[in-house]
Amino acid sequence: MAEPTVHLEVRDLVVQYGGITAVRDVSFHVGVGETVALIGANGAGKTSILRAITGLVPKASGALFLEGRPITLVPPHRLPSLGLVMVPEGRGVFARMTVRENLQLGAMHRRISASRITEDIEEQYERFPRLAERAHQLAGTLSGGEQQMLALSRALMAKPQLLLLDEPSMGLAPIMVEKVFDVIADIASRGVSVLLVEQNARLALELAQRGLVLESGTLTHDDTASALLQSPAVRAAYLGEAT
């Protein structure tokens, strides 16, 4: 059988909160090894899409496929063992646990020995020397940028094949934003598929191969990142440029 080229397919997704429709018939895919940026204004429904994919909010309707297999009804805690890991908005580190404990938790679903976990943590410390220095510090005492590094690092402990990232640059100083994007580029260059939700549309589209634009719960664009970077409508609305 040929290797699947579509990693994640989202088909006709609808998310509702009470009577309000936040995501309206959204369909798109992420190719194997591809980085796709999902951009849109605050409140457009980006987080709702990621949370619906990971089963954290109910899907009013729609279907999800991972490498062609239906995962619509797979519960959230089973997804890491299928290679799908999300770094949530606000990072989601355990503030009252140490850096090291957070990393250990990242590997929880993998059936590997304590020594293997230690090896993988060492690998993360090499990637993020800052986390090594702070290994025994409570995660809640880290700076925002360090917490984002920890969140990415913890996600990597799960050995993801598909990473969903929700606003990784939010609230970070420009120098940390650059670092976080370097890390994401490095992860992507190792073949991990990435769905990147970002308000920083320019950076996201410069990193991604393809981009999706969400407006009030509806996808308005699904195109190559370079086409979106050149689109007058996208430039005016999301890249801070006058037409």
Ligand X SMILES: Nc1ncnc2c1ncn2[C@@H]1O[C@H](COP(=O)(O)OP(=O)(O)O)[C@@H](O)[C@H]1O
Q: Which residues are near Mg ion by CB under 5 A?
A: 46-47, 89
Could you tell me which residues come within 8 angstroms of residue 234 by beta carbon, excluding any fewer than 6 positions away?
201, 213, 221, 228
Residue type present at position 197: V
Could you tell me which residues come within 8 angstroms of residue 90 by beta carbon, excluding any fewer than 6 positions away?
170
Among 42, 113, 115, 243, binds ligand X (CB under 6 A): 42
- Site residues for ligand X, 45-84, by CB under 6 A, read 45-48
Residue type present at position 172: L
| Cβ contact 198:24 at 8 Å | no
Smallest distance, ligand X to C-beta of residue 216, A: 8
| Cβ contact 220:206 at 8 Å | no
Fill in the per-residue mask, 20 to 39: x = in contact with ligand X (CB under 6 A), - = not in contact.
--x-----------------
Could you tell me which residues come within 8 angstroms of residue 143 by beta carbon, excluding any fewer than 6 positions away?
176
Which residue is nearest to Mg ion, using beta carbons?
Answer: 47
Interface stretch with ligand X, choices 44-52, 71-79, 111-119, 140-148 (CB under 6 A): 44-52
- Residue 173 interacts, among ligand X, Mg ion, none and using kind-specific CB cut-offs from 5 to 8 Å, with none
Asked whether position 40 contacts ligand X by CB under 6 A, the answer is yes
Smallest distance, ligand X to C-beta of residue 166, A: 7
